[in-house]
Chains A and B, each alone.
Chain A
Amino acid sequence: MSLFVHYLSLPYLLEGIWFTVVVTALGLGGGLILGLVLAAMQLSRFWVLAAFARGYTVIFRGTPLILQMVFAYDALPQIGLKLSAVGAAGLALAANEAPFIAEMLRAGVLGVDRGQVLAGQALGMTPALLMRRIIAPQAIRTMIPAFGNETVSALKNSSLASVISVQELTLRSTQLASSTFDFFSIFFASGLIYLVLTTAVSVIQLFVERALDLDRATPQGRLAIFLPWRRVDLSTKLKLAEQTAAPTAPAQAPPDVPLPPRAASRADRAKHAAMVERNNVAVEVTELRKKYGEQSVLDGLDLTVRVGEVVALMGPSGSGKSTLLRCINHLEDWDSGMVRVCGRRLGHRDDGRPLSPRAIANERASVGVGMVFQQFNLFSHLTARENVAGPLRWVHGMTRVDADRRARELLERVGLGHRADALPRHLSGGQQQRVAIARALAPNPSVLLLDEPTSALDPELVNEVLEVIRRLAIDDGLTMIISTHQIRFADDVADRVAFLSGGAILEEGPAHEVLTNPRHPVTARFLSLMEADKAPERTA
């Protein structure tokens, strides 16, 4: 026992810790850099890069670290690259860690909700901006446990550097045992030292996890404010703590939205419709075709929407409504046809050649097509206000003060001023969708696309969202294209209804007319089915 304590405190062994830590740090740091490069290559659009990264992964994940160490130490000097023992060990460990870290990074990136990426794209964020502001902050949180594991494993793997003469803990232990014959005391002592080191890693991991935990806006969570994506000004910090700590208010909409009864008479509607007919064209879709494999989704679709017009897209699931909306925003490519928004041909240069993703993003931002998704797709690591204000700063270069003011105004308008500092997960579905609408409106889009905005909501939450949309139509005269199954809502809000089936418009016309008096038998059948569905639901 006394020998054990003697070895535990022996400077010779304690100094070995330094080499262990240096090799581990080199391996992890280098592995992180290499892993970032590898992950970027694997996720890249260019298959050659992806293939190269795959090949690297196969080789370095598939061969033992000890061989890689010996290779870095003994073989590299043959080609003139003579690293120190610590350098060679660090290099080998980094090369070995890289594929594992790359897989972690890739899983983290792919694990971020695809809908948030779409929403970011729709807001005009470039791929780099998306990565920095939306994907990375969320991916990093999910990767911390895996990274903790990787650190512990690298720490233990650093002991293999003993084969290439790095004076780390294991080598020093074996040497000491050789000259003193006190095997067990020495190995127990060095085992304990390793345990202390790995425990320290676990503690750091837990601390970082807590610090980055968005739900802990308590003093322990204050580290999070140092992260660029979540800088909360001091004045709101306390408020935020109170609000997120408070139990989520029941999602009763009424106090949120003071509803001005919509008094537009049929005559007013007709007048409105007649007026917009003389307006400029906002969106023009011609001969749009798109196939998923053999399946034709859009089959020569034509649609013209004028400024200030509200068009409801109706039709069965799979009729192409969502695809059409995404094409208008160029979130999806199409096979042939043309989409013009405010006279600009989206997604293509004037000569018809395709644009890069980055250029498309910039174009989206400048043309101004807002989009609201069925699944809300709020950025889940950002508060309601940041969901609105963030893109204004990042994409449109607004100052923090201006962006915050604009966000506050819009949140007030959708009745959520008091929830500005709540995270999306603490909001009801209806509240989330209202935030999403505020976010889409923030850059003053010339057209707002709404893709089944109430389909994912519980029935009692539908109205609060419809009401917000209705006011946009009536009060703001916003140009909107809404895909919806809400017949009454369409009748109420839309100037025109377009009925899609099989990727083309089967029937279109003034909303009330199409909905009450469909000419096409398919439209009639669909509408009667929808009405029939409604009835039992209402009574239920």
Chain B
Amino acid sequence: MHKWFSTESRPQRMSSAAHAGLRIAALGAFLLAGLCAPMSANAAPAGCAALQAKYPSLKGKQLVNAINPHTPGYEAIDPKDPNKYVGFDIDLGEQIGECLGFTLTYKAVTFAALLTTLSSGQADIVISDIYATEERAKAADFITYSKVFDGVLVAKGNPKKITGINSSMCGAAAAENTGFVEVPLVQALVAPCKAEGKAEPTLQLYDNNANCIQAILAGRADTYVNDVNTVDQAVKANPDKLEKAIAVTIPYSVGIAVPKDKPEFRDAVMAALIEVQKAGIHKELLKKWDLDPNNFKEPDILSVK
């Protein structure tokens, strides 16, 4: 998950993932998780029977969902039962599976390895808060399902007065995950910073959110720009040491990634997502995980040759 929070919009690179903004409520979600669990017992929406008839090959299958489970609220292990993964993406994926008649197992990989795992056939689907960008759509097809809101995580008091991926970040050290869409945005600041006679921003690349957050706690990095819910989670866990400098909407969508060579599967997932949304389950899940309802997005397919 990465997204860009900059206010300027760069439509050509967004493609994906939208899920971002809603993560504010992650802590609450932890507490609620137990109470909400029965929700997944909802009967599958009515249209699902027709879909199962249309895509019989998926029925009864067990598919592998590659995730980067370091994003509480979206996908992380359940602290109460670490053998389970929980979060909005997990629930959504299982709803889609239920609709089409398949079940999911999970494969935990680094963020940068999500799409390589998919394209090597080690996973069948990726529902892991990944932004659908044109660049990434060269490796996989995306079904977008969520809008993106980014937050800027800084140390308490925002000592560097960072206000976004803009000239306020010149000379600062930004922590990001390898493969995040924010990475090229920070890199793109080099020239403007030079032009203003300021020092270049530096990038520290890590493998997961936890390491990025630790980089700020340890004083190695000045900022971490990512999905606003992730940022809020970090602030809630360390209220004395961290704060969110700003939240911004960025022009990406979060997407479900599926292999490029399986258009039928892609269409089936999209159709199931539409059924899940029609039945109101998508919005219920946003509420369950304490995510912003504004994240809701009707699905589109992003596919490039």
Contacts and interface: CB of A to CB of B under 8 A. Distances in A.
Interface of A: 10, 12-13, 15, 70, 73-75, 77-78, 82, 85, 163-165, 167, 171-172, 174-181, 183
Given A85-B122, A163-B109, A164-B109, A175 B117 contact: no
A175 B113 contact: no
A75 B120 contact: yes
B72 A178 contact: yes
10 contacts: A12-B77, A13-B82, A74-B113, A75-B120, A82-B122, A165-B117, A174-B210, A177-B210, A178-B210, A179-B70
A74 B121 CA distance: 8
Contact of B77 (A74, A75, A179): A179
B164 interface: no
Contact of A174 (B66, B120, B208, B238): B208
Nearest to B87: A179
In this complex, the member of A74, A178, A180 whose beta carbon has the largest number of chain B beta carbons within 10 angstroms is: A178
A165 B107 contact: yes
Contact of A165 (B72, B83, B108): B108
Given A165-B107, A171-B108, A179 B76 contact: yes
B15 interface: no
A93 B268 CA distance: 39
In this complex, the member of B110, B120, B214 whose beta carbon has the largest number of chain A beta carbons within 10 angstroms is: B120
B8 interface: no
B295 interface: no
Contacts of B69: 175, 178-179
Given A77-B122, A78-B120, A163-B113, A172 B237 contact: no
Nearest to B238: A181
Given A163-B110, A163-B113, A178-B71, 19 more contacts: A12-B83, A70-B113, A74-B116, A74-B120, A78-B120, A85-B107, A85-B122, A165-B113, A165-B122, A171-B108, A172-B82, A174-B210, A174-B211, A177-B210, A179-B69, A179-B72, A179-B76, A181-B210, A181-B238
A482 B80 CA distance: 83
Binding site secondary structure of chain B: mixed
A167 B67 CA distance: 13
Nearest to B107: A165
B82 A12 contact: yes
The 6 closest A-B pairs by CB, nearest first: A12-B82, A179-B76, A178-B70, A74-B120, A181-B237, A178-B210
A174 B70 contact: yes
In this complex, the member of A10, A164, A171, A179 whose beta carbon has the largest number of chain B beta carbons within 10 angstroms is: A179
A452 to B, nearest CB: 66
A175 B210 CA distance: 9
A172 B70 CA distance: 11
Given A174-B210, A178-B209, A181-B237, A165 B121 contact: no
A73 to B, nearest CB: 6
Nearest to A7: B82
A174 B238 CA distance: 18
Nearest to B73: A179
A228 B65 CA distance: 51
Contacts of A77: 120-122
Contacts of A179: 69-70, 72, 76-79, 82
A77 B121 CA distance: 7
A13 B82 CA distance: 9
Contacts of B209: 178
A175 B82 contact: yes
A68 to B, nearest CB: 15
B11 to A, nearest CB: 30
